[in-house]
């Protein structure tokens, strides 16, 4: 018998001798040992996603990892046996525990970080807060290459949704806190959405997790609180005032994201039925303002014992709080589903889901991103402050007392923009010349019909390529201003210095078959104008001699958005992996996975859409215009201007980086293939193609060699996916319209990408 046969038999024996415990027990044992999924993955030589699959029961380990994994679990089982069955009084395999009382952190609700508490432990240095200036990494310039040819392929059929087994709750996740007898945990897609490592291992201070969805038990008409991990708690409240007290006592909340920040407030999501039970309208008649007046009985009942509301009042997202008293913070956030708290553009039909599934879905978002506290745009902006709070406790070595001090690399106070950066409503922009406006926006450009060549017009198809999370990718390692702008005349351009520069880029040589990289409409500038640093740096990259006339620079700068990028990228990649789209897929496997990923788990697909909306909305909020602009007085300030995070210069830097990054990709693609775009809309670009698949358009990648074509298929931010395919006749008809129709706007199944929130 050959050695290979012996090896095969040994492998079978090893597998037979290494029976593994159920997935939930695997999770319990790992956590009992204090190991993270990444630590186990590193020890076994696999990826973290593989461990997630083993613990969720989606996949099973195979040799040679299986016996090693079994040995690890056996060793942990000896040290950490299962809980005493006698403690399981309900016969459910769980142990009933009473929730603990939360002592909230000492700080007042508001837009800035809390003042330091008395005598805290001396904080350790935080590497994420270092205020350093970084150099953007320029992609190498690719020389022209001969166009390639490829045989068209048949478009792959969308894969059928893979059958999903309901994940078995782990021991930590299935603890039933004061749950009524007979209460069961939900199953299905939304249950899987909440099965993240962080949700399963909630800190002891917040045993109930970040939020609860309050609904009415149809049998008893009492209120039930559905938690993110599937647990159901009774809520013996008959008024909103008692719900506030219950929420503070139930163990709701989430740990702070930065050591100098503050813990997330409890979030209570109220269904329409629960709202009526609490004597609130299920829906609001005033669809424009979505607010209750202070004369409403429920609002009066809250205000009478000293509870307060923010300036937003009592609306779809409501914060109820008391001023800090005796070092205790008391604050509860509410979201009312019947009042459009969950915008369908960001959350699809999440508001219509059953309460258990909605709790799981929102819990997944809260764990991976941040506890919602308004729109996804508001969450994206709040996440910046959560990750980089402005102040921290600093000990005075002379007196031994503690005081509030700045956090390096954070936005400390509100500053006015440079005049070219300001929106037209801003007081400093009232007497500004129109030529002194910096316009850094995303691409909206399409080729004129007469510029379409015969070979392009004769191509059978047009294909749209969409850059994944383009704004998020642009935020990585991007130096932005921290402090106020400083005006200089006749400066020497520094690509490492954030700011806006008045410079003439009209003579910069750019391939006329590509849109100009310096304007959002793709039309080359005809004279000097104001540009953000990334745009001017790209002109220098193209070989131009840059000589600014003047500039508004920010000497105090650093990669402010880096922690924000890191957390959102991890959230994005985790969610994509749960939808079956992993970084290790081949090009064809990636296209197949993307064709059916939303059907794999509809709840995770909603989480993914919310993460994307958080990125775009957060960047947009950096330049928030006055609400009710029709009633805004000329030159008057508005509330957003008083935020440290009202920073149109940071927004401009991100969008500028994304736009010139798209141009760089198109330039490389043209050099490698001889192909030029037909239309661009922000992060989507359309090309003529010999076949309906992106594999007919993109040159094949060579393993082990760097990608030199600009566009590369893949799941990560900055890589591209297939946006859609249409016939070339469809494109030509659109370009022939008056006005022309940008093919990038409708390439995805003929729908308007802007209307769809893309």
State which of 166-170, 199-203, 613-617 shows the largest mean pLDDT.
613-617
Boundary residue ending a domain (322, 356, 374): 374
109, pLDDT greater than 90: no
Q: Which of 447, 415, 411, 478 is nearest to 134 (CA)?
A: 478
One DSSP character per residue, 3-67 reads HHHHHHHHHHHHHHT-----HHHHHHHHHHTT--HHHHHHHHTS-HHHHHHHHHTSS---TTHHH
Single pTM value for the model: 0.75
Minimum mean pLDDT among 10-19, 192-201, 231-240: which range?
Answer: 192-201
Q: State which H helix or E strand residue 226 sits in.
A: strand 223-227
What gap in Å lies between CA 466 and CA 617, rounded to an integer?
18
pLDDT at 379: 98
Residues 455 and 591 placed together within one structural domain of the fold: yes
Tell me the residue range of the domain where 604 lies.
444-476+560-619+649-746
Q: Does residue 354 form part of some domain?
A: yes
Over residues 699-724, the mean pLDDT reads 86
Q: 530-571: per-residue pLDDT in tens?
A: 999 999 999 999 999 999 999 999 999 999 999 999 999 999
Over residues 253-276, the mean pLDDT reads 96
One DSSP character per residue, 139-182 reads PPPPPP-PPP-----PPPPPPPPPP-PPPPPPTTTT--SSPPTT
Residues 610 and 696 placed together within one structural domain of the fold: yes
Residues 347 and 236 placed together within one structural domain of the fold: yes
pLDDT at 693: 97
What gap in Å lies between CA 51 and CA 41, rounded to an integer?
6
184, pLDDT greater than 60: no
What gap in Å lies between CA 428 and CA 417, rounded to an integer?
9
Q: 292-304: per-residue pLDDT in tens?
A: 988 999 999 999 9
What is the C-alpha end-to-end distance of the chain, expressed in Å? 61
243, pLDDT greater than 70: yes
Over residues 411-430, the mean pLDDT reads 96
Residues 348 and 259 placed together within one structural domain of the fold: yes
Write out the two tokens for 624.
Answer: 């928030």
152, pLDDT greater than 70: no
Q: How confident is the model at residue 11 (pLDDT cuts 50, 70, 90)?
A: low
Q: Does residue 610 form part of some domain?
A: yes
pLDDT at 683: 96
What gap in Å lies between CA 363 and CA 212, rounded to an integer?
9
Over residues 312-330, the mean pLDDT reads 86
Q: How confident is the model at residue 3 (pLDDT cuts 50, 70, 90)?
A: low
**Residues ≥6 apart with Cβ < 8 Å to 571:** 368, 369, 611
Residues 710 and 600 placed together within one structural domain of the fold: yes
339, pLDDT greater than 60: yes
**Residues ≥6 apart with Cβ < 8 Å to 552:** 418, 419, 420, 421, 485, 486, 487, 488, 499, 500
650, pLDDT greater than 70: yes
Q: Does residue 153 form part of some domain?
A: no
741, pLDDT greater than 50: yes
Q: 436-470: per-residue pLDDT in tens?
A: 999 999 999 999 999 999 999 999 999 999 999 99
What gap in Å lies between CA 56 and CA 463, rounded to an integer?
37
Q: Three-state SS string across 445-513, please? A: EECCHHHCCHHHHCCCEEEEEEECCHHHHHHCCCCEECCCCEEEECCCCCCCCCEEEEEECCCCCCCCC
Q: Does residue 584 form part of some domain?
A: yes
pLDDT at 8: 57
Q: How confident is the model at residue 51 (pLDDT cuts 50, 70, 90)?
A: confident
Q: Does residue 549 form part of some domain?
A: no
Residues 224 and 322 placed together within one structural domain of the fold: yes
Q: Does residue 533 form part of some domain?
A: no
Boundary residue ending a domain (49, 82, 115): 82
Residues 453 and 348 placed together within one structural domain of the fold: no
Over residues 10-38, the mean pLDDT reads 77
Q: Does residue 419 form part of some domain?
A: no
> Could you give the number of structural domains in the chain?
3
Q: Residue 101, SS3?
A: coil
Over residues 44-53, the mean pLDDT reads 78
Which of 468 and 183 is assigned the larger pLDDT?
A: 468
Residues 196 and 47 placed together within one structural domain of the fold: no
103, pLDDT greater than 50: no
Residues 592 and 739 placed together within one structural domain of the fold: yes
Q: How confident is the model at residue 171 (pLDDT cuts 50, 70, 90)?
A: very low
pLDDT at 121: 40
Boundary residue ending a domain (329, 348, 374): 374
pLDDT at 618: 98
pLDDT at 317: 95
CATH code of residue 53: 1.10.260
pLDDT at 711: 95
pLDDT at 60: 83
pLDDT at 170: 34
757, pLDDT greater than 70: no
pLDDT at 305: 92
- Reported residue count of the chain is 758
pLDDT at 188: 45
Q: Are 259 and 113 in contact (CB under 8 A)?
A: no
What gap in Å lies between CA 93 and CA 172, rounded to an integer?
11
Residues 370 and 450 placed together within one structural domain of the fold: no
593, pLDDT greater than 70: yes
58, pLDDT greater than 70: no
Q: Does residue 641 form part of some domain?
A: no
pLDDT at 668: 95
Residues 216 and 346 placed together within one structural domain of the fold: yes
pLDDT at 407: 95
Mean of per-residue pLDDT scores for the chain: 83
Over residues 684-697, the mean pLDDT reads 97
Residues 349 and 251 placed together within one structural domain of the fold: yes
What gap in Å lies between CA 580 and CA 591, rounded to an integer?
11
Over residues 479-505, the mean pLDDT reads 97
Q: Three-state SS string across 722-743, please? A: EEEEEEHHHHHHHHHCCCCCCH
């Amino acid at each position: 018998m050959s050695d290979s046969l012996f090896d095969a038999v040994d492998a079978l024996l090893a597998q037979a001798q290494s029976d593994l415990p159920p997935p939930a027990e695997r999770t319990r044992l790992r956590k009992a040992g204090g190991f993270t999924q990444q630590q186990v993955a590193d020890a076994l030589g696999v990826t973290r996603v593989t461990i997630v699959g083993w613990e969720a029961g989606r996949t099973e380990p195979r040799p040679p990892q299986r016996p090693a994994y079994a040995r690890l679990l056996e060793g942990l089982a000896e040290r950490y046996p299962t809980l005493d069955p006698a403690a399981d009084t309900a016969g459910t395999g769980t142990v009933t525990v009473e929730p603990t009382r939360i002592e909230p952190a000492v700080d007042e609700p508001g837009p800035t970080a809390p003042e330091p508490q008395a005598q805290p432990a001396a904080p350790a240095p935080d590497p994420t807060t270092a205020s350093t200036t970084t150099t953007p990494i320029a992609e190498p310039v690719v020389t022209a290459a001969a166009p390639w040819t490829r045989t068209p392929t048949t478009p792959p059929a969308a894969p059928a949704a893979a059958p999903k087994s309901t994940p078995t709750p782990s021991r930590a996740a299935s603890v039933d806190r004061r749950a009524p007898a007979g209460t069961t945990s939900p199953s299905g897609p939304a249950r899987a959405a909440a099965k993240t490592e962080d949700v399963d291992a909630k800190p002891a201070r917040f045993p109930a997790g970040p939020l609860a969805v309050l609904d009415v038990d149809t049998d008893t008409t009492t209120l039930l609180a559905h938690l993110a991990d599937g647990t159901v708690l009774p809520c013996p409240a008959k008024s909103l005032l008692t719900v506030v007290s219950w929420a503070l006592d139930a163990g709701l909340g989430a740990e702070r994201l930065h050591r100098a920040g503050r813990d997330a407030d409890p979030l209570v999501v109220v269904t329409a039925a629960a709202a009526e039970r609490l004597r609130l309208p299920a829906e609001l008649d005033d669809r424009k303002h979505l607010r209750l007046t202070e004369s409403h009985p429920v609002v009066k009942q809250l205000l009478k014992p000293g509870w307060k509301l923010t300036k937003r009042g009592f609306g779809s997202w409501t914060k109820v709080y008391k001023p800090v008293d005796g070092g205790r913070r008391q604050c509860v956030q509410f979201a009312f589903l019947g009042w459009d708290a969950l915008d369908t553009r960001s959350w699809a039909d999440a508001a219509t889901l059953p309460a258990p599934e909605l709790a799981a879905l929102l819990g997944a978002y809260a764990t991976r991103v941040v506890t919602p506290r308004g729109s996804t745009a508001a969450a994206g902006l709040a996440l910046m402050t959560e990750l980089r709070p402005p102040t921290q406790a600093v000990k005075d070595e002379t007196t031994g007392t503690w005081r509030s001090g700045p956090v390096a690399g954070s936005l400390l106070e509100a500053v006015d923009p440079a005049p070219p950066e300001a929106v037209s409503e801003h007081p400093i922009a009232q007497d500004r010349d129109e030529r002194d406006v910096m316009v850094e926006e995303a691409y909206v450009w399409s080729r004129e019909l007469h510029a379409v060549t015969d070979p392009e017009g004769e191509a059978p198809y047009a294909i749209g390529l969409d850059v994944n999370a383009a704004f998020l990718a642009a935020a990585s390692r991007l130096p932005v201003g921290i402090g106020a702008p400083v005006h200089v005349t006749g400066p020497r351009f520094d690509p490492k210095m954030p700011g806006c520069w008045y410079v003439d880029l009209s003579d910069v040589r750019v391939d006329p078959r590509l849109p100009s990289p310096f304007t959002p409409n793709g039309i080359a500038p005809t004279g000097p104008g104001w540009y953000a640093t990334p745009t001017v740096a790209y002109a220098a990259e193209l070989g131009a001699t840059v000589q600014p006339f003047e500039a508004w620079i920010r000497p105090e700068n650093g990669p402010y958005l880096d922690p924000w990028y890191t957390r959102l990228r991890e959230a994005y990649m985790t969610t994509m992996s749960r939808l079956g789209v992993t970084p290790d897929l081949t090009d064809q496997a990636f296209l197949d996975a993307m064709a059916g990923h939303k059907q794999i788990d509809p709840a995770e697909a909603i989480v993914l859409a919310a993460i994307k909306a958080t990125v775009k909305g957060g960047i947009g909020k950096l330049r928030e215009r006055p609400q009710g602009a029709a009633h805004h007085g000329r030159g008057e300030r508005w509330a957003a201007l008083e935020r440290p995070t009202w920073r149109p210069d940071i927004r401009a830097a991100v969008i500028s980086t994304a736009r010139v990054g798209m141009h760089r990709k198109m330039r490389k693609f043209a050099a490698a293939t001889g192909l030029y775009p037909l239309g661009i809309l922000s992060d989507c670009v359309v090309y003529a193609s010999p076949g309906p698949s992106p594999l007919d358009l993109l040159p094949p990648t060579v393993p082990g060699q760097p990608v030199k074509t600009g566009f590369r298929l893949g799941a990560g931010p900055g890589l591209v996916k297939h946006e859609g395919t249409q016939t070339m006749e469809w494109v030509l008809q659109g370009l022939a319209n008056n006005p022309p129709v940008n093919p990038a706007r409708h390439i995805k199944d003929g729908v308007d990408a802007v209307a769809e929130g893309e």
